[in-house]
Amino acid sequence: MESSHTYVVKDWLVHATFGIGQIVGVEEKGISGANVRYYKIRTADSTFWIPIDRMDGQELRPVCSAAEIQIAIAILLGPAETMASNHQIRKNEIQRILVLNTLAGSARLIRDLRARQRERGELHIAEMNTLRSLKQRLLEEWIVATGEQPEHVAARIDELLDH
């Protein structure tokens, strides 16, 4: 498959499952008798490998720009959308958004989960974990995109969610 993005060592990426990571190398591994080239990607707490010929797709995208962070801020400040009352429908919608792996989708989900949490007083444990994980991912992506200090970004995200 031809990739629409050209990645190099030191590029930052967002993986739908593993989060924010940086390409730290290229390695060749023998799999089933064939040599396959992989990007080695390191996150804050793990390392994973993605075949270079499978780098195109929704599970992996480049870290956003500073301008895209401004769009995410506008989304966080916007009115929350009411989530489905049925747990299974809500779970499926959350999963769909996570698989799409877009900054805008993540920002909307953070906003809406936080609004649901304020309204109900608590979230289902899986929703709480999703909210925590997405907030951390937004924090890390914002820092990489803008170079701002982690403490400042964390405080700003909390301020935006508590407006």
pLDDT tens digits for 32-61?
788 889 999 999 999 999 888 876 666 889
Would the pTM of this model clear 0.85, i.e. be above it? yes
pLDDT at 6: 78
Decide yes or no: CATH 1.20.58.1290 for domain 66-161: yes
Residue 57, pLDDT score: 65
For domain 12-62, which CATH number applies: 3.40.190.10, 2.40.10.170, 3.40.50.300, 3.30.465.10? 2.40.10.170
- Residue 5 pLDDT level (bands cut at 50, 70, 90): low
Q: What is the pLDDT of residue 127?
A: 97
Mean pLDDT of 118-139: 95
Contacts 24+ apart (CB under 8 A), 141-150: 141/14, 141/20, 141/63, 141/64, 141/69, 141/103, 142/69, 142/72, 144/12, 144/20, 144/63, 145/63, 145/64, 145/65, 145/66, 145/68, 145/69, 146/66, 146/69
Lowest mean pLDDT among 1-15, 66-80, 106-120: 1-15
pLDDT at 2 over 50: no
Average the pLDDT over 106-126 and give the result.
96
**pLDDT more than 70, % of the chain:** 94
| Domains 12-62 and 66-161 belong to one CATH topology | no
Domain positions in the chain:
12-62, 66-161
